[in-house]
């Protein structure tokens, strides 16, 4: 008999609802009614079940032989070796010689247990996760302004009634296609404003009177936002009563943007002054306005300040904490929200507590049954954590869960060198990713449809992921792996293998924190159908959750939001001369993150089999590049060789490369290790590169440094 299970998509943070039907021939995916996706799925969601039966699946532990090849091993052999090597490193070099790198795709239970394992079983402060590459600037800005970070502090469906939506740096039409249905109201009202250097699929939604595409130079978003704020203030479009009643810091903001008049912003960004005025006036028109930011404005060394500028604009317009308008940031990874709430970040404990807060340490230590003094302090954010591999005083052993850092991390060549310099590398994965291929031990873990767990979507809604099929016999859950390793390491705390028990413990650990889950349980999360009770955090015991935050007060002690004046420090992008251009990176519709999963789905891989460099026809002609021809793209850090895609959808001074591909086509061979000083976010969006046409079989040129 066929068995149907209500669950959610394994990919992005929209967490589209689906039904999986297991039968003799495999698993069938159908869309399911849910507020975020309304039964729709994207290509990735429709084909997600193919991952479960992929021939590339790892089905038993693998250990590296002396000759560099891998051989199967029993679970006892693999875990005994891991425990022995980790114990030896801790004894000889200290607890911080062992690092843990997590992922924004892990369930809440696994993210929580991983953070606990690092701090209790290993005693290391050296834990962080790949969400540092995605959400850290938005989180830092949200905490600074509101006292609390939740991607969307309102329901996705609230956007349906909006008359104006400003989207900065997010191509939702390709990254989460069902989301665009929530933009229909704004499009019909002519109020969709998209800010992007590319004429992306989302930017094209503004055609035919549906809105406005604003196309600034890469890295100039902060200047753009300062200019919009200047216009709102000088044209007296500020919601004066809101600013007086609910914020502090406006006077400093007014002084700080005084010099950012439209003509100056036009010179700095390339956006016409008339377009700036049109956008500002539309935002202030009061038709139900939302401002949404994404990675395009956040993945910069000034990403926190840029996101703060967007929040400032939202606050002076009176948008935040009302029933008809708002500000939010679009979380990317499937559990990017929950993954950063419960202990994977180097400076946080469960419940979004600061690890430096004595009261937070005491509370969490009490739940874990250990002394607060035994918990380590603040560790290193992801880029610095990876940079410490193989250097004196750095990490010597690394456990990787739910990440493929060889492809996804900036300065990928140096990351690979660091991984190769480790004494010991353990990777838990479904497939032999590019990172797993460098490991000493690879542990096969359960996939999304083979396990129970919870995820927290981009709107702060906690949802159940339900087991629909049985995992292959040799595969284990990360909860089981952490339990077994903790036992071998003689951990002073317990590590359950039951997801429901782990979730209950997470809820207790989060009680009283900013991200309070204490009123939730698997029973409260329902049966997985349309009748389920909405479960938005904060959800303290005895409450009914919080679908819309900040209606009465912000999370600062005085209840007011902080307007934090920021300065534009970004340098001008290089002129498009002599093949020197500005590279931005991003996603394609068919692929997800490092492509470790989607490149193994034939339909998706066939649709987008390789990386292609997008460049403008005028630029291509200047460089002698033809559509489909081969190019070398060179930065100070490395070279990428790929085909060219000549298109009018990009500025003449800019090129675009997707980041899903490995090897010679890996975009992060070009990006650098510079980070935002507040959030630790890498600079992914403004890399200076040189582009040169080459013959298909030409030898790679020497790496050159272009200042």
User: 333 with 593: CB under 8 angstroms?
Assistant: yes
User: 214-225, pLDDT tens digit by residue?
Assistant: 999 999 999 999
The 8-class DSSP code of residue 217 comes to: P
CATH no. for 580-694: 2.40.40.20
Closest CA to 591 of 45, 44, 169, 51: 44
Q: Is residue 434 very low, low, confident or very high in pLDDT (cuts 50, 70, 90)?
A: very high
Q: Does 649 have pLDDT greater than 50?
A: yes
pLDDT at site 574: 52
User: Which helix (DSSP H) or strand (DSSP E) does residue 642 occupy?
Assistant: strand 639-646
CA angle 379, 347, 167 (to 5 degrees): 120
Instruction: Tell me the mean pLDDT in the region 189-205.
Output: 97
For 612, the token pair is 């292609």
Q: Does 557 have pLDDT greater than 50?
A: yes
Largest CA distance in the chain: 72
Q: Is the peptide bond before 310 cis (omega within 30 degrees of 0)?
A: no
For 263-277, 508-522, 523-537, 681-695, which range has the lowest pLDDT when averaged over its residues? 523-537
CA angle 55, 60, 66 (to 5 degrees): 105
User: 432 with 442: CB under 8 angstroms?
Assistant: yes
Where do you find CATH 3.40.50.740 in the chain?
Answer: 78-134+335-499
Q: Give helix 108-116 / helix 478-488 axis angle, nearest 10°.
A: 10
Instruction: Compute the mean pLDDT over every residue in the chain, rounded to the nearest whole number.
Output: 94
Q: Is residue 528 very low, low, confident or very high in pLDDT (cuts 50, 70, 90)?
A: low
Q: Does 491 have pLDDT greater than 90?
A: yes
pLDDT at site 705: 34
Q: Is residue 702 very low, low, confident or very high in pLDDT (cuts 50, 70, 90)?
A: very low
Whole-angstrom distance, CA of residue 685 vs CA of residue 301:
10
pLDDT at site 24: 79
Whole-angstrom distance, CA of residue 101 vs CA of residue 424:
14
Q: Does 515 have pLDDT greater than 90?
A: yes
CATH architecture for the domain at 78-134+335-499? 3-Layer(aba) Sandwich (3.40)
pLDDT at site 533: 78
3-class DSSP assignment, residue 496: coil
pLDDT at site 570: 55
Strand duo 247-248 + 561-562: pairing? parallel
pLDDT at site 134: 87
Instruction: Tell me the mean pLDDT in the region 66-73.
Output: 95
User: 24 with 520: CB under 8 angstroms?
Assistant: no
Whole-angstrom distance, CA of residue 186 vs CA of residue 165:
6
User: 251 with 209: CB under 8 angstroms?
Assistant: no
Whole-angstrom distance, CA of residue 42 vs CA of residue 63:
37
User: 32-53, pLDDT tens digit by residue?
Assistant: 999 999 999 999 999 999 999 9
pLDDT at site 286: 80
CA 438 to chain centre: 24
Residue 472: CB atoms within 10 A of its CB come to 16
Where do you find CATH 3.40.228.10 in the chain?
Answer: 136-330
Phi, psi of 429 (to 5 degrees): -160, 170
User: 152-186, pLDDT tens digit by residue?
Assistant: 999 999 999 999 999 999 999 999 999 999 999 99
Instruction: Tell me the mean pLDDT in the region 406-410.
Output: 95
Closest CA to 313 of 455, 145, 454, 500: 145
pLDDT at site 483: 98
CA 238 to chain centre: 32
Percentage, residues of the chain above pLDDT 70: 96
CA angle 255, 261, 265 (to 5 degrees): 115
pLDDT at site 704: 37
For 361, the token pair is 């340490």
Instruction: Tell me the mean pLDDT in the region 64-81.
Output: 97
User: The whole model's pTM is what?
Assistant: 0.95
Strand duo 630-634 + 687-694: pairing? antiparallel
pLDDT at site 2: 72
User: 134-157, pLDDT tens digit by residue?
Assistant: 889 999 999 999 999 999 999 999
User: 330 with 151: CB under 8 angstroms?
Assistant: yes
User: 562-606, pLDDT tens digit by residue?
Assistant: 999 999 975 545 555 667 899 999 999 999 999 999 999 999 999
Q: Does 688 have pLDDT greater than 50?
A: yes
pLDDT at site 332: 83
pLDDT at site 577: 60
Whole-angstrom distance, CA of residue 622 vs CA of residue 691:
11
Residue 569: CB atoms within 10 A of its CB come to 9
Task: State the fold for domain 136-330.
Answer: Dimethylsulfoxide Reductase; domain 2 (3.40.228)
For 22-26, 68-72, 120-124, 339-343, which range has the lowest pLDDT when averaged over its residues? 22-26
User: 353 with 375: CB under 8 angstroms?
Assistant: no
More confident position, 14 or 528: 14
Closest CA to 433 of 595, 658, 668, 603: 595
> What is the three-state SS of 150-204?
CCCCCCHHHHHHCCEEEEECCCHHHHCHHHHHHHHHHHHCCCEEEECCECCCCHH
Q: Does 701 have pLDDT greater than 90?
A: no
Percentage, residues of the chain above pLDDT 90: 92
Where do you find CATH 2.40.40.20 in the chain?
Answer: 580-694
Q: Does 698 have pLDDT greater than 80?
A: no
3-class DSSP assignment, residue 30: strand
């Amino acid at each position: 008999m066929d068995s149907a299970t209500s669950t959610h998509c394994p990919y992005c943070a929209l967490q589209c609802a689906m039904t999986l039907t297991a039968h003799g021939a495999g698993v069938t995916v159908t869309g399911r009614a849910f507020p975020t996706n309304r039964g729709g799925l994207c290509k990735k969601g429709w084909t997600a079940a193919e991952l479960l039966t992929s021939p590339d699946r790892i089905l038993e532990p693998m250990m590296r032989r002396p000759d560099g090849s891998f051989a199967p091993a029993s679970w006892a052999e693999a875990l005994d070796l891991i425990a022995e090597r980790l114990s030896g490193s801790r004894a000889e070099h200290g607890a911080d010689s062992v690092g843990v790198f997590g992922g924004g795709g892990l369930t809440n239970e696994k993210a929580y247990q991983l953070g606990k394992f690092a701090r209790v079983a290993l005693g290391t402060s050296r834990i962080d996760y790949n969400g540092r590459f995605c959400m850290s600037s938005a989180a830092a800005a949200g905490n600074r302004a509101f006292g609390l970070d939740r991607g969307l502090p309102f329901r996705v469906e609230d956007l349906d009634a909006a008359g104006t939506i400003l989207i900065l740096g997010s191509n939702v039409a390709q990254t989460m296609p069902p989301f665009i249905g929530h933009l229909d109201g704004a499009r019909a009202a002519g109020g969709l404003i998209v800010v992007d250097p590319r004429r992306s699929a989302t930017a094209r939604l503004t055609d035919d009177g549906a809105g406005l595409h604003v196309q600034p130079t890469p890295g100039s978003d902060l200047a753009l936002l300062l200019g919009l704020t200047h216009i709102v203030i000088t044209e007296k479009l500020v919601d004066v009563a809101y600013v007086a009643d609910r914020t502090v810091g406006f006077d400093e903001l007014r002084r700080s943007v005084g010099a950012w008049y439209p003509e100056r912003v036009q010179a700095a960004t390339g956006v016409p002054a008339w377009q700036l005025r049109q956008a500002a006036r539309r935002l202030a028109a009061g038709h139900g306005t939302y401002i949404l930011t994404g990675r395009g404005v956040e993945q910069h060394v000034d990403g926190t300040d840029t996101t703060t500028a967007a929040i400032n604009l939202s606050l002076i317009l009176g948008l935040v904490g009302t029933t008809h308008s708002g500000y939010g940031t679009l979380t990317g990874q499937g559990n990017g929200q929950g993954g950063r709430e419960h202990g994977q970040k180097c400076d946080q404990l469960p419940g979004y507590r600061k690890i430096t807060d004595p009261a937070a340490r005491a509370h969490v230590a009490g739940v874990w049954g250990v002394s607060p003094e035994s918990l380590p302090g603040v560790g290193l954010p992801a880029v610095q954590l990876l940079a410490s591999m193989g250097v004196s005083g750095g990490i010597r052993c690394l456990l990787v869960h739910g990440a493929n850092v060889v492809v996804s991390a900036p300065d990928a060549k140096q990351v690979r060198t660091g991984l190769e310099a480790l004494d010991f590398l353990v990777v838990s994965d479904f497939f032999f990713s590019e990172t797993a291929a460098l490991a000493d031990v690879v542990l096969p873990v359960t996939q999304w449809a083979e396990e129970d767990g919870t995820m927290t979507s981009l709107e702060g809604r906690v949802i159940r992921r339900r087991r629909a099929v049985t995992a292959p016999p040799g595969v284990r859950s990360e909860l089981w792996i952490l339990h077994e390793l903790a036992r071998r390491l003689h951990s002073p705390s317990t590590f359950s293998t039951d997801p429901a028990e782990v979730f209950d413990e997470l809820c207790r650990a989060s009680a009283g924190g900013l991200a309070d889950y204490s009123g939730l349980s698997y029973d409260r999360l329902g049966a997985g159908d349309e009748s389920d009770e909405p479960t938005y955090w904060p959800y303290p015991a005895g409450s009914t959750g919080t679908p819309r935050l900040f209606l009465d007060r912000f999370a600062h002690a005085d209840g007011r939001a902080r307007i934090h004046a920021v300065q534009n420090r970004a340098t001008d992008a290089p002129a498009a001369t002599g093949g020197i251009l500005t590279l931005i990176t991003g996603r394609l519709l068919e692929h997800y993150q490092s492509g470790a999963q989607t490149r193994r789905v034939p339909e998706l891989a066939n649709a987008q089999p390789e990386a292609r460099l997008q460049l403008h026809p005028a630029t291509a002609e200047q460089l002698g590049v033809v559509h489909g021809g081969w190019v070398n793209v060179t930065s100070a850090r490395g070279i990428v060789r790929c085909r060219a895609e000549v298109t009018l959808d990009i500025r003449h001074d800019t090129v675009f490369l997707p980041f899903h591909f490995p090897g010679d086509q890996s975009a992060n061979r070009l990006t650098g290790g510079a980070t935002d000083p507040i959030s630790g976010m890498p600079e992914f969006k403004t890399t200076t590169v040189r582009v040169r046409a080459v013959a298909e079989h030409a030898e790679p040129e020497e790496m050159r440094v272009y200042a």
